[in-house]
């Protein structure tokens, strides 16, 4: 059985980070080990959330796992709570990546041009360093510009602007940046990536749903990880994640009982498994 380790927070309510990664990657038929970086009462879009920092637990967890000899087919990181956690995550990469292990970094720290509460520009620059150690980095437009120290061009930035950002991320040492939540020249909504090894741009989009959803970056990165470790190519895994995330957004949009803080990712898991060819 394949095994993935995911390093990110637990938001008790919010359907993001580990509460999304664990069910989605497990549903993809993969053992999912988790490293909680913090426990929050809700994600940080709510007011008054509690925050239990677990930085001091990360190295003991790592060292125990080293003793046990665990290895992973992918190490996938999301929201990290501090600069020190970024450094520690790099040591997880070193300790547990074997030949063929994918290091997947979602620099989950910003949206709509603004950093989430608790982060600053220094953190964003440090995150660029972690993305440079990844095989695939999955920023949204806000995260891309913050890692580059550039002005936010807006959510509907043109494909040309996004390609320019990708080239700049690659110049910073990020091997394969993929910007999610991008609007393509044909008006569709999806991803644009740049594979620096092949000097090749890739993209794919679905029809845009006229709504702004929360937590979709985490759903996307989790579904991508699950598809990749099911043996799909990077491109096919990116497309499967786009189709599934788009279905989650549409499902939520059509649901009169929807919550505003997350998408109905659970209701589209059967569709995800179909896309994977598992059912
Ligand atoms: O969805 C990304 C995310 C993850 N973790 C926490 C967050 C957010 C977004 O707001 O607050 C704690």
Here the CATH number for the domain that contains residue 177 is 3.40.1190.20
CA 53 / ligand 1 centre spacing (Å): 14
- Would strands 97-105 and 72-77 be described as parallel, antiparallel, or unpaired? parallel
The tokens for 19 are 């509460």
User: What is the extent of the structural domain holding 269?
Assistant: 3-276
- For residue 6, list its beta bridge partners: 34, 76
From 6, 7, 8, 9, mutation site for ligand 1 pocket: most ligand atoms within 8 A of C-beta:
9
Into how many domains does the chain fold? 1
* pLDDT average per 10 residues of sequence, the chain (279 residues): 98 98 99 98 98 98 98 98 97 96 98 97 98 98 98 97 98 98 98 98 97 96 99 98 98 98 98 98
Q: What is the pLDDT of residue 110?
A: 98
Q: Is the CB of 16 under 6 A from ligand 1?
A: yes
DSSP class of residue 116 equals P
| Under 8 Å between Cβ of 17 and 78 | yes
Burial of 112 (0-12, 13-18, 19+ CB in 10 A): exposed
Which of 25, 33, 35, 73 minimizes the C-alpha distance to 241? 25
> Would you state the pLDDT for residue 238?
99
Q: Which two tokens stand for residue 112?
A: 């709509």
Which residue spans within 18-169 are E strands per DSSP? 31-42, 51-53, 72-77, 97-105, 110-111, 114-115, 136-137
Please answer whether residues 93 and 117 qualify as being in contact, where contact means their C-beta atoms are separated by less than 8 angstroms.
no
What pairing do the DSSP bridges indicate for beta strands 200-206 and 189-195?
antiparallel
In angstroms, what is the span from residue 200 Cα to ligand 1's centroid? 31
Ligand 1 centre to CA of 144 (Å) is 16
Atom of ligand 1 nearest to the CA of 108: 2
C-beta 108 within 6 A of ligand 1: yes
The closest residue, in CA terms, to atom 8 on ligand 1 is 43
């Amino acid at each position: 059985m394949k095994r993935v380790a995911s390093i990110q927070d637990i938001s008790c309510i919010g359907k993001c980070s580990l509460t999304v990664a664990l069910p989605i990657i497990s549903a993809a038929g993969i053992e999912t080990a988790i490293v909680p970086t913090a426990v929050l009462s809700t994600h940080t879009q709510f007011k008054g959330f509690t925050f239990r920092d677990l930085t001091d637990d990360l190295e003991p967890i790592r060292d125990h796992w080293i003793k046990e000899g665990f290895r992973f087919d992918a190490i996938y990181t999301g929201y990290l709570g501090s600069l020190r956690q970024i450094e520690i995550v790099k040591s997880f990469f070193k300790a547990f990546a074997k030949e063929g292990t994918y290091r997947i970094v979602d620099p989950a720290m910003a949206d709509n041009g603004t950093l989430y509460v608790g982060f600053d520009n220094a953190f964003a620059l440090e995150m660029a360093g972690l993305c440079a150690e990844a095989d695939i980095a999955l920023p949204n437009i806000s995260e891309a510009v913050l890692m580059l120290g550039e002005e936010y061009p807006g959510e509907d930035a043109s494909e040309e602007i996004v390609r320019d950002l990708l080239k700049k991320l690659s110049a910073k040492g990020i091997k394969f940046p993929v910007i999610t939540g991008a609007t393509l020249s044909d008006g569709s909504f999806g991803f644009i990536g740049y594979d620096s090894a092949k000097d090749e741009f890739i993209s794919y989009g679905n029809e845009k749903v006229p709504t702004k959803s929360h937590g979709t970056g985490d759903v996307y990165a989790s579904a991508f990880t699950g598809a990749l470790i099911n043996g799909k190519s990077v491109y096919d895994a990116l497309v499967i994640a786009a189709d599934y995330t788009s279905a989650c957004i549409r499902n939520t949009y059509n649901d009169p009982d929807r919550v505003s803080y997350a998408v109905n990712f659970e209701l589209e898991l059967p569709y995800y498994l179909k896309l994977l060819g598992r059912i």
